[in-house]
Chains A and B, each alone.
Chain A
Amino acid sequence: MPLDNAEQLPAAGLSRRGFLRAGAAAGGGLLVGLNFAATAAAQSAAATEGVLNIYVTVGTDGAITIVNKNPEIGQGIKTMLPMLIAEELDADWDRVTVVQADADGAKYGAQFAGGSFATPMNWMPMRQTGAAARAMLIAAAAQQWGVGAAECSTAPGKVVHAATGQELDYGALAVAAAALTAPDPATLTLKDPADFRIIGTSIPQVDTMRILTGQPIFGIDVEVPGMKYAVYEKCPVFGGTLVSADLDAAKAMPGVIDAFIVRGNNSTEGTLGGNVLEGLMDGVAIVAENWWYANRARSVLNAEWDTRGESASDAEHAAKAAEAFASGPGDVLRDDGDVDGAFEGAAKTIEAEYSYPFLSHAPLEPQNTTVAVHEDGSVEVWSPTQNPEPGRAGVALALGVDPSQITIHMIRNGGGFGRRLNNNFMTEAAVIAQRAGVPVKLVWNRQDDLRHDVYRPAGFHKFGAALDDQGNLVGFKDHFVSFGQDGRPHSSADLAPTTFPVEYVENVRYEQTLLPLNMPTGPMRAPGSNALAFVFQSFLDEVAAESGKDPLQFHLDVLGEPREVVMTPGFMGPQPGFNNARMADVLRIVAERAGWADRASLPQGTGLGIASYYCHLGYFAHVAKVTVDANGGWAVDKIWMVGDVGSQIINPTGAVNQCEGGCLDGLGQMTLGLTFENGQVVDSNFNTYALPRINKMPPVDIHFHITDNPPTGLGEPALPPVLPAVANAIFAASGRRVRSLPMSGASVASA
């Protein structure tokens, strides 16, 4: 009997129901679940192929093939998830080949790269998948030897019977094992972590050699028979409609095959599920024999757009924010205690305004997708997407085909950072391929990418804090000016009413004012947190300075005594809420590692800054060391990071790589900002959107504080504290507060 174990699996520390169903609510129809048993049909084929379940195939030569179900965006998932399976399978890693799954939610459950969710969602299910395959191999050996399965064990790549000294290679058992019924996962015993041989060892990404030798493994490298190349010219102002374009001029250009107009829905609303067409905008498609010919022909299109008088700009947003602060109060998000009373009775009050700009994800591989619309009406998509299912929905609607007719091959992403959670490039490619009547590879240029992103939203904060005569924080308020409509913030433009220090200060008020916005916003690595950590942790450092306390001590005092951890609703169901003791620990440890107590001995102009942040279930505290010279020139000398992401670092080299990446990503955000004028993004390339280069990467000291908690993800939580740690170090070094980003990379004087 094939096992449908989707309802039987426990999920690591999470409610099973929440685990299995949660995706539907948050991910636009994604179903989180696990169904690793081969189907009945697959099982009969398995008898010759050694297919033990949908993830594991053992060849008769002992070679093991493991399927990676999630999109690879550079986070190392194609290595990490198979490591979990291989560990419990007791595989010899050197004999493992990893293959990438297509998008198939019914088979694999949720398949997306976002929210640092892969580790908490897959830690148990992937291990159980491997353990189930191992149990089948053991059962097959036991049958062959006529002994009880319980008497058998495994060594890497083989089953052993200790009593008789017999051994059988997995390859010799593959066919027999594949004919067996998959076991009930509830009966499986997982390895004691002390026995891990693969988990916890540093393993390079499985595609490393292919990358180092230039093999075509990225989305932009896809070639299919008969394929042509396409560009898509859109209105630089979001929501603009096409009035006219000189299609004949474009068609007359060398190498051009066709040029045509595509009508979109021109909506800028939502990104994930909110807009099923995934932002298809009016535009002109040019199809050519070579991408460069297509791109060059854009210059003769002479497209005229109706931009509906859109004139919004950074200056206008800033002016409106100032107005909102002056006219006060916004919509109340949270009002605890007696805030006004606390401020009136305070020994000291502090006020400060903070702001940060729009940011683009700018993954180095420009957006692209290849689509073939086949004669039978089926559609084949090759896409570097982080989130294929909303893309499928968009393509189905745009082409008028059933979602089941669409095959999506998930191709390696040249960086994601959240950008490819939105699939507007996929929809565009599908529409163009259908109309062109040939397979088409659509590739955006860098200007398309910067001007048609789903942006990290800008934001403005007016903070207040009240201290008692002991320097204790007794009141806190924030008026947040953000973007949204009808009282609903746009994607990633919200302030959770539970944001720290709520519940750690008696009197707290958060207010919000939402400004209209004509551009799409969406999640960018550590969404929300990447901005909120900067403003909250920088302002708290200002308050600490006014309190007369050591900033570390101030933070520890606010956190207070360890509290009971309450379960809170989360993406995957109830999850443990903020644990102040874990945060206090990483703060103490990072201070220790960075020599915080001795910082008075640093030379004049050099200072340490400390900051911490909790997001994506991870606890991180950083110290930055910054030197500011007499002219205001500043440089980050070093960053120390301490993170608590639970009991196990699965692939240490990958984990450290993610933290190093988060470090410079955060540093880059100190000086990066898009310019927004006349309703459009002005930046068109890396000259003005100046991503940090090698000289900006400081030495980083990274330490994981191992605790007895379920392992959680690392793609995001290391980033947010970088910005305030650096800003606070700039203050310590120079006395200057960085309250408005982007700051100049050349001088703190303009900060």
Chain B
Amino acid sequence: MAFTINVNGADHTVDVDGDMPLLWVLRDELNIKGPKFGCGVSLCGACTVHLDGNAIRACVTPVSAVGDAQVTTIEAIGETEIGAKLQDAWLEEDVIQCGYCQAGQIMSAAALLANTPAPTDGGIDAAMAGNICRCATYQRIRKAIKRAAGLDTADTRG
């Protein structure tokens, strides 16, 4: 069945089964490879994209449910002010190890900062709880979010 979805500002029409998760439409049909596959069941956050600005797991979102919503992926998040600040902060804090989770981390962080411009440590924990980093770059993710938010990056928890 044909679906037209708007991804990063452009309309795309795909002819796929309506149950197909958005993740596989993006990756295998539209060759938008930024969103990653990690678990397929909403447990790791690697596939996180925005639907009208809200962070969602593309691996459990059927393409038929997207409708007219605007899909934003890591490829275009740098065009938003928050996204660009996060990318700068991620570079500045040298967050990355393998990097596989980081697209999803940044998308979750961007949704967090859009709603909560100055998150607390607890707020960061809650908003980022769905994103696994197997390499454990969490310390730097926390700092990079604070840096992007213009907060003191010192870890005051210990």
Contact = CB atoms under 8 A, between A and B. Distances in A.
A657 B31 contact: no
A292 B136 contact: no
Contact of B40 (A223, A290, A446): A446
A415 B100 contact: yes
A471 to B, nearest CB: 33
A214 B20 CA distance: 22
Contacts of A658: 97
A383 to B, nearest CB: 15
B157 A290 contact: no
Contacts of B125: 694-695
A363 B135 CA distance: 8
A74 B99 contact: yes
A366 B134 contact: no
A415 B135 contact: yes
A685 B43 contact: yes
A691 B100 CA distance: 15
Contact of B74 (A207, A214, A364, A697): A214
Interface string A358-383: 00001111100000000000000000
Given A364-B134, A657-B137, A73 B20 contact: no
A638 interface: yes
B139 A660 contact: yes
Nearest to A696: B138
A575 to B, nearest CB: 27
A748 to B, nearest CB: 20
B113 interface: no
- Number of chain B interface residues as a range: 35 or more
B40 A218 contact: no
A694 B142 contact: yes
With a 10 A CB-CB cut-off, give which of B44, B96, B99, B157 has the most chain A CB atoms. Answer: B99
Interface stretch (A22-30, A529-537, A661-669): A661-669
- Number of chain A interface residues as a range: 35 or more
Nearest to B17: A254
Contacts of A699: 139, 155, 157-158
A220 interface: yes
Contacts of A664: 136, 138
A364 B96 contact: no
Interface string B16-29: 11001101100111
Nearest to A212: B87
A385 B10 CA distance: 35
A416 B134 CA distance: 10
B91 interface: yes
B138 A685 contact: no
Nearest to B90: A212
Contacts of B73: 214
Nearest to A657: B97
Given A208-B91, A363-B98, A412-B99, A443 B37 contact: yes
B137 A223 contact: no
A384 B98 CA distance: 11
B137 A661 contact: yes
A218 B100 contact: yes
Nearest to B21: A292
Interface string A423-456: 0000000000000000000010110000000000
A482 interface: no
A412 B98 CA distance: 8
Nearest to A362: B134
A204 B128 CA distance: 23
Contacts of B33: 214-216, 220-221, 223
A213 interface: yes
Nearest to A413: B98
A414 B39 contact: no
A540 B155 CA distance: 33
Nearest to A660: B139
B75 interface: yes
Interface in B26-82: 27-29, 31-41, 43-44, 46, 73-75, 78
A255 B100 contact: no
Contacts of A694: 124-125, 128-129, 131, 133, 138, 141-142
Contacts of A293: 17, 20
Contacts of A668: 136
B136 A665 contact: yes
A364 B97 contact: no
A686 B132 contact: yes
A292 B138 CA distance: 30
B28 A290 contact: yes
A657 to B, nearest CB: 6
Given A685-B39, A691-B132, A638 B20 contact: no
A470 interface: no
B50 to A, nearest CB: 13
A291 B137 CA distance: 29
B80 to A, nearest CB: 13
B111 interface: no
Which 10 residue pairs of A and B lie closest in terms of their CB atoms, listed nearest first?
A: A214-B34, A74-B98, A414-B100, A699-B158, A664-B136, A214-B74, A697-B138, A292-B24, A211-B99, A638-B158
Given A414-B99, A443-B37, A664-B136, 15 more contacts: A205-B96, A208-B96, A214-B103, A216-B34, A254-B17, A362-B134, A364-B46, A414-B36, A415-B135, A625-B158, A637-B157, A638-B158, A686-B39, A686-B43, A694-B128
